[in-house]
Amino acid sequence: MTPIKPFITLGVESSCDETGIGLYHSEKGLIGHQLFSQVEIHSEYGGVVPELASRDHIQRALPLIKAVLADAHLTLRDISGIAYTAGPGLAGALLVGSAVAKSLAWSLKIPSLGVHHMEGHLLAPLLEKEVPSFPFVALLVSGGHTMLIDVKAIGEYEILGESLDDAVGEAFDKTAKILGLGYPGGPALAQLAQQGSPDAFKFPRPMIDRPGLDFSFSGLKTFARNTFAKHPGQKADIAKAFEVAATSTLMIKCRRALEQTKRTTLVVAGGVSANLSLRQELDAMGLKHGAQVFYPRQEFCTDNGAMIALAGHFRLSKGQSTASGEIAIQPRWSLEELEPV
Ligand code: KG4
Ligand code: ZN
């Protein structure tokens, strides 16, 4: 009997300020991944400069692909399909990943597929040993999105609520900037908050007194600015008050979404899911309400190529692909437009 050839997916992430490459094997799971973060390039400007991001993706993508393949003792010829982030994200940065993936796939005569970046985040917990089972509620919290989603199966997503203004990661970043913490702000703010007192200030929990599952975080940032103007010596206390207000708002809405959908599994992903206070709040809520809570490992909370390889793998291995020859990106793209697998 001839053994069935494994399906190996190469994943390319380039939607913002990280070039990520992943390699997913149909039987062995994730067999390699590498990341190049552009933090140093953008930090002197206090935020991501799109043109610099695109130029750096061009330099990093191919060497990273070569390194990931070499580490896995594989060559380009072993790849069965290539997945790349098609959106949402910065158009120039997305074009780089798309052009690299499409050209390689064309030359290797294999299929390629544009992946939705947020589907990558959403499925990242499936890279862990203990995986959530469908259906579940997902909280996606990144620099560009804050969403609660009812996930019936891969590709079957119903948005239950989202932010009406700033994404929660954006609010962390902007508040960090107000406190002079630089970029990227979220992790720096979380670190400073550890030294703050939870009793010094109480910030409002936005939108929790309104029905529904939408969010609003821009007011919290304004509250932080006004408090800082009055109490410039209490940076850590302000960071703490902001973090407590943001994370408990997220927890309250997750609890509401679980009640509303009658689901008992919660998946939390995206950059802000790395936040330890958020994890503590959600774990405590899950214990109290009989819900299991799943997260990706820390390094797969923020952008990475492994999640794009995984999300692409589910689709490519079932025969889905994007028309060949076309460099296709979708900088604005709703999760609800995706096809089921
Ligand atoms: O998912 P991600 O890497 O990129 C986007 O798709 O946006 O998320 C980045 C966001 C940034 O806003 C960053 O400040 C935030 O995630 N972040 C955190 C933490 N780590 C990353 N926010 C709060 N606490 C953290 N530990
Ligand atoms: Zn992301």
Give the pLDDT score at 73. 98
**Nearest atom (ligand 1) to Cα of 184:** 14
For the Cβ of 184 lying below 6 angstroms from any atom of ligand 1, the answer is yes
Q: What residues does each domain of the chain span?
A: 8-122+301-337, 131-295
Q: Does domain 131-295 have CATH number 3.90.550.10?
A: no
CA atoms within 13 A on the CB side of 200: 20
Burial class (CB in 10 A: 0-12, 13-18, 19+), 152: middle
Length of the chain, please? Answer: 341
Beta bridge mates, 56: none
**Nearest atom (ligand 1) to Cα of 270:** 1
Ligand 2 being an ion, which residues bring their Cβ within 5 A of it? 142, 303
For the Cβ of 85 lying below 6 angstroms from any atom of ligand 1, the answer is no
Are 167 and 177 spatial neighbours (Cβ–Cβ below 8 Å)? no
Among protein residues, the one with the nearest Cα to ligand 1's atom 3 is 302
Give the pLDDT score at 184. 85
DSSP 3-state of 317: coil
Put simply, whether the predicted model's pTM sits higher than 0.95 gets the answer yes
For the Cβ of 47 lying below 6 angstroms from any atom of ligand 1, the answer is no
Mean pLDDT split into 10-residue runs, the chain, 341 residues: 86 98 98 97 93 98 98 98 98 98 97 98 98 98 97 98 97 96 93 97 88 94 96 98 97 97 98 98 98 98 98 97 88 96 95
Give the pLDDT score at 1. 65
For the Cβ of 242 lying below 6 angstroms from any atom of ligand 1, the answer is no
Among protein residues, the one with the nearest Cα to ligand 1's atom 7 is 143
For the Cβ of 89 lying below 6 angstroms from any atom of ligand 1, the answer is no
Per CATH, 8-122+301-337 and 131-295 having the same topology is answered yes
Q: Indicate the top mutation candidate among 141, 142, 166, 217 to test ligand 1's pocket, ranked by most ligand atoms within 8 A of CB.
A: 142
Its CATH class, for the domain covering 8-122+301-337, is alpha beta
Among protein residues, the one with the nearest Cα to ligand 1's atom 23 is 186
For the Cβ of 274 lying below 6 angstroms from any atom of ligand 1, the answer is yes
